[in-house]
Amino acid sequence: MSNRDFPVIDFHLHLPVPEPAQEARWQRLVDDIGERRAALLKQNQAALHKSWRQAWCFPGMEEDKPPAEVQASRWQEELDKYDIRAAVFVTGGGNETLGNALANHRDRLFGFAHHDPFEPGAADELRRCVKEYGFKGFKTFGPSMERPVADRAAWPLWETCAELGVPVLVHFGPLGAGGGIMGGPNISPLALHDVAKSFPDVTFVIPHFGCGYVRETLHLCWGCGNIHIDTSSSQQWTRWMPGDLTQKDLFRKYLETIGPERLIFGTDSSWFPLGFVNRYLEDQIRDCHYLGVSDENIRRIFHDNAARLLKLA
């Protein structure tokens, strides 16, 4: 058990299994630029990822990943170990893989649908996932999308999110580990502006405090009351901001603009043997205390806001 006197929900994790959509995207790139250049890119990516892991003294990822069901059981054990009430897996090898993997853990491990928002029938697929797997939201990645996020082709999907009352998590900014995607029409969270304005009855969550786009994210928050922020990840991106910016600064800035009701704790934990990154949780709790955030508001950030969006009692 922990020494905390409040419950915690982690709103942002990934089930560590192969991602077919990611693999297909990589294959398209290989077809495009050839094996030799693709290998160079991989090398670069591995070196950057290693230097990040070394900075945090994190272990390398295990090479052979067990099946999704086993990974879910391991995560259930992690939650017990660190006294975490519930966890949200925003991806997990496609909807079917994630839905089946979480089937025996539905009281504590929740999934988000994470298919292409522009694919034909995307809205029906979300409806199916909510009904069959009990999924609690939809997750997508702006930078890797084939079209602008505001493209009307995804309107029926947002409409369905409103109808079902499920939140949407959209990643903006640098995507993936070092060597990942760092451009395109959906790199800035402001790309979501027209969607968020058109669907004020849908909660959109921007992860990682805006991931390098703090000004743009704060603008979006100011313009659209339905934008929430998740606090997950190591915030490596703060190293590339002009001037010094700490995680504590981020908490302060967001609390000033949106208050404690729209901030949601997450870690972005994923792979083993690392498991749940308790350091992120402890650092975030300390930052909030040092900023003088009240116990009631700490509880909102680390539990209540997520419980509200997930419709938990």
* Distance of closest approach, residue 277 Cβ to Zn ion, in angstroms: 12
Residues with Cβ within 8 Å of residue 45, at least 6 apart in sequence: 176, 177, 178, 179, 180
Identify which of residues 10 and 268 has a Cβ nearer to Zn ion in the complex.
Answer: 268
Identify which of residues 207 and 260 has a Cβ nearer to Zn ion in the complex.
Answer: 207
* Distance of closest approach, residue 65 Cβ to Zn ion, in angstroms: 17
Please report, as a single letter, which amino acid is at residue 51: S
Only segment of 16-24, 47-55, 218-226, 260-268 that touches Zn ion (CB under 5 A): 260-268
DSSP string for 38-102: HHHHHHHHHHHHHHHHHHHTPPPPPSSPPPHHHHHHHHHHHHHHTT-SEEEEEESSSHHHHHHHT
Alpha-carbon distance of 53 to 47, in angstroms, equals: 10
* Distance of closest approach, residue 112 Cβ to Zn ion, in angstroms: 11
Identify which of residues 269 and 297 has a Cβ nearer to Zn ion in the complex.
Answer: 269
Only segment of 136-144, 147-155, 265-273, 290-298 that touches Zn ion (CB under 5 A): 265-273
Only segment of 106-114, 185-193, 247-255, 264-272 that touches Zn ion (CB under 5 A): 264-272
Identify which of residues 233 and 297 has a Cβ nearer to Zn ion in the complex.
Answer: 233
Q: In terms of C-beta density within 10 A (0-12 exposed, 13-18 middle, 19 or more buried), how is residue 198 classed?
A: middle
Please report, as a single letter, which amino acid is at residue 272: F
Alpha-carbon distance of 150 to 193, in angstroms, equals: 8
Alpha-carbon distance of 105 to 82, in angstroms, equals: 17
Alpha-carbon distance of 156 to 162, in angstroms, equals: 10
Identify which of residues 123 and 192 has a Cβ nearer to Zn ion in the complex.
Answer: 192
Alpha-carbon distance of 215 to 198, in angstroms, equals: 22
Alpha-carbon distance of 107 to 104, in angstroms, equals: 8
Per-residue x/- marks for Zn ion, 218-257, CB under 5 A?
----------------------------------------
Q: Which of 268, 288, 304, 306 binds Zn ion (CB under 5 A)?
A: 268
Beta carbons of 213 and 189 less than 8 angstroms apart: yes
Q: In terms of C-beta density within 10 A (0-12 exposed, 13-18 middle, 19 or more buried), how is residue 116 classed?
A: middle
Only segment of 73-81, 112-120, 195-203, 261-269 that touches Zn ion (CB under 5 A): 261-269
* Distance of closest approach, residue 141 Cβ to Zn ion, in angstroms: 9
Beta carbons of 99 and 111 less than 8 angstroms apart: yes
- Does 287 participate in binding Zn ion (rule CB under 5 A)? no
Identify which of residues 174 and 260 has a Cβ nearer to Zn ion in the complex.
Answer: 174
* Distance of closest approach, residue 157 Cβ to Zn ion, in angstroms: 20
Identify which of residues 125 and 268 has a Cβ nearer to Zn ion in the complex.
Answer: 268
Alpha-carbon distance of 73 to 266, in angstroms, equals: 20
Per-residue x/- marks for Zn ion, 41-80, CB under 5 A?
----------------------------------------
* In the complex, residue closest to Zn ion by CB: 268
Identify which of residues 140 and 160 has a Cβ nearer to Zn ion in the complex.
Answer: 140
Only segment of 28-36, 178-186, 195-203, 268-276 that touches Zn ion (CB under 5 A): 268-276
Which positions lie near Zn ion, rule CB under 5 A?
268
